[in-house]
Amino acid sequence: MTIIPNLNIVPFVSVDHMMKLVLRVGIDTFLRELADVVEEDFRRWESFDKTPRIASHSQEGVIELMPTSDGTLYGFKYVNGHPKNMKEGRQTVTAFGVLSDVGNGYPLLLTEMTILTALRTAATSAVAAKHLARKNARSMAIIGNGAQSEFQARAFKAILGIDTVRLFDIDRTASEKCARNLAGQGFTIEICDSAQSAVEGADIITTVTADKQYATILTDNMVGPGIHINAVGGDCPGKTELHRDILLRSDIFVEYPPQTRIEGEIQQLPEDYPVTELWQVISGEKHGRVNDRQITLFDSVGFATEDFSALRYVRSKLAATGLYTELDLLADPDEPRDLFGMLLRCEATLA
């Protein structure tokens, strides 16, 4: 029996460390590198063990577990979605995650994922748009200017070169907050009075609203030819953002159909409505955008592999930055069968 020291320790990335890590790497570089890892994992989609997330729904919201594995690493994210939280001073979405070694089941990393999820969602949106939006896209409407909006803007700028954002939120102070946070970062920013006005002239429309209901953020007349729609907010049963007619005019791209059919915009469509899986586009198996008049829709709900990508990216940064602490999470008696003896020895030290 080999005794390996510190088997009890799991590296932990706190919120504070995550912020410092993102800033140390640089927000744009972080988004670009994370997008590369997300894309790499989409390209090897078939090597993942996939399952729709396990949701526990309540009247106020949902708590979900999102596990996946590539046979070498296992990752899962805990994430909640509680729209009413904002009114109480809490986040609508908070998250944390764990990456583990499949070979022995021991966790390798525990990390906050509220900030990390915001980054991975934005990075994934940008990866999809890289394959689905018109190559010359420069302007993006962002409908819904909550916690995710700036991350979307920054990712689309870093990865696609989007330099104009047109903001709309039913609460104008949210748009003002978003504009303030994006100021001085090379964007042309316009706050708009309506969704209709925000989408005028936009090459890409990102919808990222938070209400848990069937909403119609976009109606059919608002979507012209050549648009790419990045639909991020409609992501659970009973929560959609787009009018059904838009879906019927669009070519629809999704992450994992069994999950998206339950949670995405396409919950409004028949179960067998044709959609294309994003990984097939990324791996070159299927076409993404084929012409400049086509309407493309990324019906994004967020999938476990994206969190897996984020976890393994963060883990790759730990050794060089040291931005983590050590958590005494795993019982590690010197003799593995002697768990009870460890308790007795602890008692002896206290006596």
Residues 177-216 within binding reach of a second copy (CB under 8 A) = 177, 180-181
How many Å apart are CA 282 and CA 278, to the nearest integer?
6
Residues 310-349 within binding reach of a second copy (CB under 8 A) = 327-333, 335-344, 346-347
How many Å apart are CA 178 and CA 145, to the nearest integer?
6
Residues 155-174 within binding reach of a second copy (CB under 8 A) = 174
Smaller CB separation from a second copy, 7 or 269: 7
How many Å apart are CA 240 and CA 269, to the nearest integer?
12
Q: Of 85, 196, 197, 283, which one interacts with a second copy (CB under 8 A)?
A: 85
Smaller CB separation from a second copy, 291 or 337: 337
Q: Is 235 a catalytic residue?
A: yes
What SS3 state is found at 145?
coil
Smaller CB separation from a second copy, 16 or 285: 16
Q: Which stretch binds a second copy (CB under 8 A): 39-47, 96-104, 258-266, 291-299?
A: 96-104
Q: Of 39, 41, 150, 190, which one interacts with a second copy (CB under 8 A)?
A: 150
Give the N- to C-terminal CA distance of the chain in Å, as an integer. 30
Residues 37-56 within binding reach of a second copy (CB under 8 A) = 49, 51, 54, 56
| Token digits of residue 223 | 């979507």
DSSP 170: S
The active-site residue out of 169, 235, 299, 307 is 235
Q: Which stretch binds a second copy (CB under 8 A): 85-93, 214-222, 257-265, 312-320?
A: 85-93
How many Å apart are CA 247 and CA 231, to the nearest integer?
11
How many Å apart are CA 351 and CA 349, to the nearest integer?
6
Q: Which stretch binds a second copy (CB under 8 A): 101-109, 131-139, 244-252, 309-317?
A: 101-109
Helix 304-321 vs helix 114-132: crossing angle, to nearest 10? 120
> Is residue 264 within the footprint of a second copy (CB under 8 A)?
no
Smaller CB separation from a second copy, 49 or 245: 49
- Strands 276-277 and 251-254: what pairing? parallel
| Token digits of residue 139 | 């302007």
Q: Of 33, 36, 92, 170, which one interacts with a second copy (CB under 8 A)?
A: 92
The amino acid at residue 2 is: T
Query: Which residue from 108, 33, 37 is spatially nearest to 73, judged by alpha carbons?
Result: 108
Q: How many residues bind a second copy (CB under 8 A)?
A: 90
What SS3 state is found at 87?
helix
State the binding string over 106-125 for a second copy (x if CB under 8 A, else -). xx----x-xx--x-------
How many Å apart are CA 13 and CA 31, to the nearest integer?
18
Smaller CB separation from a second copy, 43 or 180: 180
| Residues annotated as catalytic (active site), given as ranges | 235
